[in-house]
Amino acid sequence: MNSINRILTSFAILLAATVAHADTTAPIKNIVLVHGFFADGSGWQGVAKILKRDGFNVAVVQEPETSLADDVKATTRAVEGMEGKSILVGHSYGGVVITEAGNHAKVAGLVYVSAYQPDVGETLRDLSSKMPPATKGIKATPDGHLYFDPAVFHADFAADLPVADAEFMAISQVMPAVQAANTAITQAAWKTKPSWAVVSTADRTISPDLQRYMTRRAGSKIVDINGSHVAFIAHPAEVAKVIEQAAAMSVRN
- 95-107 per-position pLDDT tens digit: 999 999 999 999 9
| Three-state secondary structure call for residue 227 | coil
User: In this predicted model, what pLDDT tens digit does every residue of 139-194 receive, in sequence order?
Assistant: 999 999 999 999 999 999 999 999 999 999 999 999 999 999 999 999 999 999 99
Give the mean pLDDT of 223-243.
Answer: 97
Q: Which parts of the chain are beta strand (E)?
A: 30-34, 57-61, 86-91, 107-113, 138-140, 146-148, 195-200, 221-225
Nearest-angstrom CA–CA distance, 152 and 154 = 6
Interacting residues of 129 by C-beta distance below 8 A, sequence separation 6+: none
How many Å apart are CA 44 and CA 240, to the nearest integer?
A: 10
How far is Cα 207 from Cα 176, in angstroms, rounded to an integer? Answer: 20
Alpha-carbon separation of residue 187 from 145, 148, 190, 201 (angstroms): 25, 29, 9, 28
How far apart, in whole angstroms, are the C-alpha atoms of residue 253 and residue 81? 18
φ/ψ of residue 102, rounded to 5: -70, -10
153 CB-side CA count, 13 A: 22
**What pLDDT, on the 0 to 100 scale, is given for residue 17?**
42
Residue 196: strand pairing partners: 111, 221
pTM: 0.89
Residues 117, 36 contacting (CB under 8 angstroms): no
What is the SS3 assignment for 177?
strand
What is the tens place of the pLDDT at every residue in 7-19?
444 444 444 444 4
The pLDDT value given to residue 27: 77
Alpha carbon distance 209, 182 (integer Å): 21
At residue 195, φ and ψ (nearest 5 deg) are -140, 150
The enclosing H or E element of 132 equals none
Domains of the chain with bracketed CATH? 28-249 (3.40.50.1820)
Q: pLDDT tens digits, residue range 18-67?
A: 444 444 557 799 999 999 999 999 999 999 999 999 999 999 999 999 99
User: How many CA atoms, within 13 angstroms, populate the side-chain half-sphere of residue 241?
Assistant: 9
